[in-house]
Structure 1
């Protein structure tokens, strides 16, 4: 892999657009393969049995809690590291990486303890079928013991993203996808581990990923990262990590809320919506790349005190978001029937998915604006507002809107989709106004923390 030049690592100089493209494309591509990785596990579970697939589906809800923590670790580490990279305080950069490394071990131990105490009860709550719960526990128990490697991967990836290096994380996600195709059959059919084989495959891949990123990070900062236990630094890290993790949880909870109300119209509408939203998530992958770009660029320039450049980054990120939307909105409107028919030949499922994609196309730029605004706020160490917007957008407003539309006004299924559009657009405008306000009063990062 070609080493990054000094200009590529220093995001306080050079073309903003070039940096965004260089950072964003690998990040987006990596997330595409991460999504395909999850689909691969579902496919192999289906090859075992319907019970195995159901068990994996339930276990994935518990697994989502790990992902939420990992996203928080990645965002929090990136925010703290990028700011001191921008101010050229390399010793502080190493301190933050080591403290993030240390807090990762601590949080992973907490997750293991809580999971061992409560995960089984949560699985029982999610299903009345003892066989499905047993299969789900087979998967979850392995993942629980290996959650450290998931979190270390996120920690090291966050530090590398702060350096403007998204190619290394992309590489492990692509490698993991192909390795999964080799390891799943080995653990499932050769070693006869069943659904637990899916977890062992993932565990081995995440172990390798964390070791690889640890080595790449050593090349970036010049020393091996070791766990550090500076509790003042931990407190500052947690102030970034926990809001980002909780924001991810609101997305998960919001999905359950939406499915609950859609389920009142039958199983096929739920299936149609579920397929539609997964297709939409694939189309939103460029937004995740843009998110990584804004986090790294704003973080370094905020640390360097380049407030005008921070404003420029936000403005240009919105322009790139608009360009992406101009391409993908017509895709959602005109190609949604073709995309939906690849997943189902049931006309009701297809119709619901197509209608959802066409309706939510009008909110596509709103999603992009939210990604840009949230990334900037996290990079300038203001993670609470994205959490507030997340709670409103994913939980409070949908519950109110869906209840009034469905239970009080007796509107149909499609009113849910249009209310989602209205909520997203409203949230994105609020986020835009708030972010612009923060930029007007933004001061250079203090050099004493």
Structure 2
């Protein structure tokens, strides 16, 4: 356990954000590795894997419910020095993880064809998406166990073990991807199905390694089988915080799905370009996301310890850091986005679409940094409903005009990205406004002006 209620706020944020960013980078490399080898199979394969991979947002939404509830309550318990409650929360999260994994497996295999048929550009894209998703679903189910354990560690101020496990799983995935996708050394190429299987195997090994770490090395929170009986009161505490946070990620699924639907008439190349551009954007967001990610345990421990001035200082420092990082990556995407996209494909139309997406959507980046930071503070305060409200507003501001736009003759692809920029601006304003109100209510005195 690391006490975050003492010492430099900026120092805590950086010391936690660096290994967190490394771990998130390794996690993102899953998709980059798969994308690199899948790109050689053609536009339909890339579009299929990208569309199928969007289901990960639903899984992330469910794991976010678990992870945010676990992290927030454990960080509060650590702040008030209540180890018994921290252990109870952790062990109940393991039970929820097992149930969540089973739910994902059953639902995933039932809805795959319905989902892909609604968003994919053609039958070939649907077939590739199905092959990928069927083999990746076991890995998605195992994400619940990883999230439960890593969130418990994050709540106690420990992030390095999770980073090491994520690095290990990416190395395994990198080694397995060419073997299973392209048939290197075996002569049996599974295609996109191999990409899903490689990820599932790597995640399974990651779960085993992190379980061994908890069994042998972790002392503050640990496995207690006698606490594996369902505790409705504990579940209610976790879900109160976690459900709205999970709703945010569910909305990201719908946001991305409606984008695929809106651009499908432009063909598989357009969907592939958007898919590659989105993955690149996720990758370059990592430093800012890492800062926002560790805001929650830092501010959460201080909130549990009733050190309200340190909670406000956490927001101010984190917002400044996030905005600075986002300005840098915005310049990168304004400069030569074609170079970033060309690393994954040689198709001129795919490169054009992906580069246009990055060039325009990068105007969102600073606003996204503020949104990420606000989300972390809402988690720390134990009230994630305002973050969900801002996300719902963004989806409405984006989706309704987009549906109207697609009914107009001659609409252009870039108009979709302009709508996205406007929606993010609205969300940023709402997030900051709601956070200022929440800080006044829960911290007992006026909040400082956001950075």
Correspondence list, 1:37-436, <5 A: 37-45=30-38, 56-57=49-50, 59-119=52-112, 121-122=114-115, 139-145=132-138, 147-184=140-177, 189=183, 190=186, 194=190, 196-218=193-215, 219-221=218-220, 223-226=222-225, 227-265=228-266, 268-345=269-346, 348-393=349-394, 395-403=395-403, 407=407, 412-436=412-436
Q: TM-score under structure 1 normalisation? A: 0.85
CA distance in 2, matches of 1:50, 1:358: 21
Task: Select between 323-332 and 157-166 the one with higher mean Cα deviation.
Answer: 323-332
Cα deviation digits, residues 391-442 of structure 1 (max 9, x gap): 221x211123334556469664333322322221221111111101111111
Deviates more, 1:402-411 or 1:146-155: 402-411
Aligned to 1:437: 437
Kept in 2: contact 1:12–1:300 (CA 8 A)? yes
Shift of 1:37: 1.3
Q: Separation in 2 of the partners of 1:222 and 1:355?
A: 47
Q: CA separation of 1:253/1:186 partners in 2, compared to 1, >3 Å: closer, same or farther?
A: same
Q: Residues 205-234 of structure 1: CA distance to partner in whole angstroms, max 9, x if unpaired? A: 222222322343451426335434211101
C-alpha deviation, 1:146, in angstroms: 5.3
- For residues 248-300 of structure 1, what are the alpha-carbon distances to aligned partners after superposition, in whole Å with 9 as ceiling and x for unaligned? 12112111222333445555544443333332222211122012210111111
- Which one of the candidate residues 20, 26, 29 is aligned to 1:27? 20
Q: Give me the whole-angstrom Cα distance separating, in 2, the residues matched to 1:392 and 1:69.
A: 21
In the aligned structure 2, how far is the partner of 1:196 from the partner of 1:269? Answer: 22
Give me the whole-angstrom Cα distance separating, in 2, the residues matched to 1:411 and 1:116.
Answer: 35
Query: Is contact 2:119–2:264 with CA below 8 Å preserved after alignment?
Result: no
SS of the residue corresponding to residue 230 of structure 2 reads: coil
Matched-pair contact (CA < 8 Å) for 1:283–1:328: yes
Partner residue, 1:3: none
Contact 2:86 2:221 in 1 (8 A): no
After superposition, the Cα gap between the structure-2 partners of 1:325 and 1:91, relative to the gap in structure 1 and judged at 3 Å, is: same
In 1, are the aligned partners of 2:120 and 2:260 still within 8 Å (CA)?
no
- The count of aligned residue pairs is 436
Change over 3 Å in CA distance of 1:334–1:400 after alignment to 2: same
Question: What are the superposed Cα offsets for residues 293-316 of structure 1, whole Å, 9 maximum, x if unpaired?
Answer: 101111111111111111110111
The Cα shift of 1:148 comes to 4.4
RMSD over aligned Cα atoms: 3.1
Per the normalisation by structure 2, the TM-score is 0.85
Listed as ranges, the gaps of 5+ residues in structure 1 are 1-5, 445-449
SS across alignment from 1:221: coil
Cα gap change, 1:360 to 1:223, in 2 (>3 Å): closer
> Runs of 5+ in structure 2 lacking a partner?
445-451
1:374 alignment partner, SS class: helix
Shift of 1:344: 4.6
Bigger shift: 223-232 or 94-103? 223-232
Q: In the superposition, relative to structure 1, how do residues 40 and 385 fare at CA in structure 2: closer, same or farther (>3 Å)?
A: same
In the alignment, the residues of structure 2 paired with residue 259 and residue 138 of structure 1 have an alpha-carbon distance, to the nearest angstrom, of: 19
1-side partners of 2:271 and 2:41: how far apart? Answer: 24
Q: Compared with structure 1, are the counterparts of its residues 275 and 222 closer, same or farther at alpha carbon in structure 2 (3 Å cutoff)?
A: closer
Q: Distance in 2 between matches of 1:51 and 1:319?
A: 41
Aligned to 2:4: 11
Change (3 A) 1:416 1:182: closer
| Partner residue in 2 for 1:447 | none
Moved more, 115-124 or 431-440: 115-124
- Give yes or no for contact 1:28–1:289 (8 Å, CA) kept in 2: yes
Check 1:225–1:137 CA distance in 2 against 1; reply closer, same or farther (3 A cut).
Answer: farther
Distance 1:267 1:158, change over 3 A: same
Contact 1:258–1:398 under 8 Å retained in 2: no
| Separation in structure 1 between the aligned mates of residue 404 and residue 40 of structure 2, nearest angstrom | 42
